[in-house]
Chains A and B, each alone.
Chain A
Amino acid sequence: MTVAIAGAAECDLGKTGLDVLTLQSQAVIRALTDAGLTLSDVDGLATNNIGRFPVIQLAEYLGLRPRWCDSTFVGGSAFEMYVARAAQAIDAGQCSTVVISYASNQRSARSRTLTAAGDEYESPYRPLYPASYYAMVAQRYLHTYGLDRRHLAQVAVSARERAQRNPKAWTYGAGPLTVEEVLAAPLVSSPLGVLDCCLVTDGGGAVVLTSLERARDLPRPPAVVLGCGEMLDHTSMATAKDLLRTGAVESGRTALRAAGLTPADIDVIQLYDAFTISVPLGLEQLGFAAPGEGLSVTTPMNTGGGGLAYCHPGQFGVLLLVEAVRQLRETSAETALVHGTGGIFSSHATVILGVDR
């Protein structure tokens, strides 16, 4: 592929008191400014989560008439999928400049409604969606590998640690977290407690994609799209045959193969950490560790603090991309793997980004 991310930015995060379209506008304008572009350059748009016809609402609000759009709605991995679709569209000449954007004001609005499959065979048992699914994955994981809650708690502790270096993080300045604090926090759905779960905040972000050739003439160093992969899975809680086998296997493998890379070639990982269990299992499924050894991976990851400690506005996928771009621009990292998941490991999408060589 010959497409790159030329601009990336967050909207206001935390508890903003702003409406969704205002937050979206912030994200879009800041990402375009970062790219050295303006709204008039944009001819492709991808978003979701704005009531009826999300992408048309955003386009109208921004005064755009895009010739290409995507509004695939599969949970938090959608934004990684938009990168794949946008790269194909730009390569095919369908459009030249795509903005991928997202925002939510779920903390200010005090609501986050995710409709489950409406499954008449599951709702009578009152699962917490999505927490109870991840909890059952965690239970099975701990059982299978002879681990306990203490091991998972370490994931939250490390996330907090990284967030202390990110002034934009929700938990910035909150100081370090201890394993004991994670264990002592109220249980949500055992073995997961409150501090095993991602944050509930406002926030969002946007990235701008254009051809690599054009990106080279823009102010910021391009983050080249090297490969993409995706996989859809289940949406009910009882249909996955094996809780410890997710679509990240195929998604990651496809993306790495397209990039001509292996996990050993990846310098930094941005992995959707909706719950602590997501981290070790995700790293294993993506090929960074053998089964049961995901907690010992040392590759830099979730550098901004992740969904557990930085920001989690309902769908976190776009902010994984923003942070990956930041890492490629500001650190020695030359390759980044971004992996989004949606729902209850329902959807998976992986994007490999690299510096321009």
Chain B
Amino acid sequence: MSEWWEATRDHRLLLQHCDGCGSVQHYPRALCITCGSSDLSFREAVGTGVVDSFTVVHRAGEPYVLARVRLTEGPILLTHLDDIAEPRCDMPVLLAWRPLPDGRHLPVFRSADGL
């Protein structure tokens, strides 16, 4: 599903919508896991969500915050939380982008507090 990754070059987070039943799913698949239809199209996510859960990963190098973010559209994304001193479950977060060496970007999330 390189279309998904290509869109990250333009800071667009795509979610797969089913043209048959309207379900939204992530990660992208060849079929809708709700109705089985193969009529699927990508639409851009609004970029908001809440932290379902998170963990600070300690391995070689700097620790980082891995999280499950429940997007406003419904699907959950495995991602990182950036620049959040004290992450908590259920906190609202906003989409941000971290560049990759090849020009693609990795969707990550920052705090939505104070907005």
A89 within 8 A of partner (CB):
no
- Kindly provide the distance from the CB of B78 to the nearest chain A CB, expressed in whole angstroms: 4
Residue of B nearest to A137 (CB): B53
A124 within 8 A of partner (CB):
yes
Tell me if B27 and A140 are in contact (CB < 8 A). no
Q: Known contacts being A136-B54, A139-B54, is A126 close to B89, with CB within 8 Å?
A: no
| Chain A: interface residue total (CB-CB under 8 A) | 30
Tell me if A238 and B78 are in contact (CB < 8 A). yes
Tell me if A140 and B55 are in contact (CB < 8 A). no
Which residues from chain B contact A120 at a C-beta distance below 8 Å?
A: 1, 5, 27
Q: Known contacts being A121-B27, A121-B78, is A128 close to B57, with CB within 8 Å?
A: yes
**Bound-state Cα–Cα, A155 to B19, Å:** 48
Q: Chain A 157-195, CB within 8 Å of chain B: the 1/0 string?
A: 000000000000000000000000000001111111000
Residue of B nearest to A122 (CB): B78
**Bound-state Cα–Cα, A143 to B50, Å:** 14
Tell me if B55 and A125 are in contact (CB < 8 A). no
A57 within 8 A of partner (CB):
no
Which residues from chain A contact B43 at a C-beta distance below 8 Å?
A: none
- Kindly provide the distance from the CB of B12 to the nearest chain A CB, expressed in whole angstroms: 15
Q: Known contacts being A121-B27, A125-B78, A143-B90, is A189 close to B106, with CB within 8 Å?
A: no
A132 within 8 A of partner (CB):
yes
Interface size classification for chain B: 20 to 34
Which residues from chain A contact B27 at a C-beta distance below 8 Å?
A: 119-121, 236, 238-239
- Kindly provide the distance from the CB of B105 to the nearest chain A CB, expressed in whole angstroms: 10
Q: Chain A 123-158, CB within 8 Å of chain B: the 1/0 string?
A: 011111000100111011001100000000000000
Point out which of A140, A186, A237, A238 has the most chain B C-beta atoms below 10 A from its C-beta: A238
Which residues from chain B contact A236 at a C-beta distance below 8 Å?
A: 27, 78
- Kindly provide the distance from the CB of B94 to the nearest chain A CB, expressed in whole angstroms: 17
Tell me if B53 and A140 are in contact (CB < 8 A). yes
- Kindly provide the distance from the CB of B95 to the nearest chain A CB, expressed in whole angstroms: 14
Q: Known contacts being A126-B64, A136-B53, A140-B53, is A190 close to B58, with CB within 8 Å?
A: yes
Q: Known contacts being A119-B27, A143-B89, A238-B76, is A190 close to B64, with CB within 8 Å?
A: no
Which residues from chain A contact B53 at a C-beta distance below 8 Å?
A: 136-137, 139-140, 143, 243
B6 within 8 A of partner (CB):
no
Q: List 18 A-B contacts (CB under 8 A).
A: A124-B100, A125-B79, A126-B66, A128-B59, A132-B57, A136-B67, A140-B53, A143-B53, A143-B90, A187-B56, A189-B55, A190-B55, A191-B55, A192-B55, A236-B27, A238-B26, A238-B78, A239-B27
